[in-house]
Amino acid sequence: MIAADDIEKEIKAATVKKADEEGRLTKDKQILFQEQKDLEAKKDILVAERRGILPMIPPDQIKLYNRIRAKLNGVALSPVTDDFCSLCQLRIRPQLVNEIMEMKKIITCEACGRILYWPKPHSEDIPEEKADDPDKIDDSAAK
């Protein structure tokens, strides 16, 4: 008789635990479905933005980008950081770095073949008149 009571208590405890877990899982599912909806909405916005920008890009550049992207597992661009290709770590010649910074033509990495670009520095947020004179820039927020 005592063993039967213990078993019934264990069954009740397991039933309560199961109900709690099901409730938690239901809440988690709802959160995930909401995140999925939000991400799909964001995707739709980005796709629409892409459709607007795509006609402004020359077709030969789009072909180059798509060819590199397909060949290199979806990663066609590489930022230049400290005069190195960020993905393959090849040192970029100084003249080539200057050409990349000018952004007048597409330049690919000699080692990995990705399109190199110069990431915009944070200093571009500084107004032009202050950027010319370093004494006018307030560095107190950076410290």
pLDDT single digits (tens) 8-47 = 888 999 999 999 999 999 999 999 999 999 999 999 999 9
CB 105 within 8 A of CB 67: no
Q: Are residues 49 and 16 in the same domain?
A: yes
Token pair in block for residue 123: 């200093």
Q: Are residues 61 and 51 in the same domain?
A: no
CA distance 39 to 55: 25
Q: Residue 42 falls within a domain, yes or no?
A: yes
* Cβ partners under 8 Å of residue 81, min gap 6: 119
Q: Residue 143 falls within a domain, yes or no?
A: no
For residue range 33-44, list pLDDT tens digits in order: 999 999 999 999
Regions of the chain with pLDDT less than 50: 124-126, 129-143
Q: Residue 136 falls within a domain, yes or no?
A: no
Q: Are residues 119 and 61 in the same domain?
A: yes
Q: What is the pLDDT of residue 123?
A: 53
Q: Are residues 62 and 119 in the same domain?
A: yes
Domain span at residue 76?
A: 57-123
Number of domains in the chain: 2
Q: Residue 128 falls within a domain, yes or no?
A: no
As a whole number of Å, the CA-based R_g of the chain is 28
CA distance 29 to 118: 41
Q: Residue 141 falls within a domain, yes or no?
A: no
Q: Are residues 115 and 63 in the same domain?
A: yes
Label residue 100 exposed, middle or buried (CB < 10 Å: 0-12, 13-18, 19+): buried
At 139 the three-state DSSP class reads coil
